[in-house]
Structures are given as structure tokens and as C-alpha cells.
Amino acid sequence: MQAQSSISAVIKNQSSDPLFTPKEASEYLGVSNDTLSVWRCVGRYNIPFIKVGRLVKYRKSALDAFLDSRTHGGEVA
């Protein structure tokens, strides 16, 4: 039963914090897919990502945190 509740928690978290492909993440950030790939490979920005085998995914909350950290001037909503 422990595995079942763990899977349920992951599914619930997924709906509230979706995973983006690199293409979706780059569109969300307004940069090219190649730029995002370079940032990830050389560590230009510390945007957390999930890697399973060859697959790379970004949590929406990580992308939002990155954008918040790059916001200058004024209050962040």
C-alpha cells in the first residue's frame, strides 16, 4: 500500500506542478530550445531539472522561481 500512496502523491503533485519538456520550458521562458540546452549543459543558470535516462523535464514551479529570481525593480506579485 505504501507504493500506491506514493504514486498517488506524485500524480497529485503533477497536476498542481506540471512537468514541461525542454521545448515547452523554452517557450514558457521565451528563449530558444538551444539556449535552454546550453544553459543546462554549461550551468549558466541554476534551473533545476529532472533527468530520467535521456529525458529532461522541468517543473513549472522551478521555471517560475527562475523568472522571479531574474525580476528586477518593483515588487513581485
CATH code, domain with 49: 1.10.1660
Stretches where the chain sits below pLDDT 50 are: none
- Confidence (pLDDT) at 76: 54
**3-state percent helix, strand, coil for the chain, nearest multiple of 5:** 55, 15, 30
In a domain, 62, yes or no: yes
Residue 8: inside a domain: no
The boundaries of the domain holding residue 29 are 17-77
* Residue-level pLDDT at 9: 57
| pLDDT for the residue numbered 13 | 58
Per the structure, the count of domains in the chain is 1
User: Residue 10 is inside which H or E element, if any?
Assistant: helix 2-16
Residue 33 in grid coordinates: 530550445
CA distance 46 to 10: 24
Residue 73: what pLDDT? 83
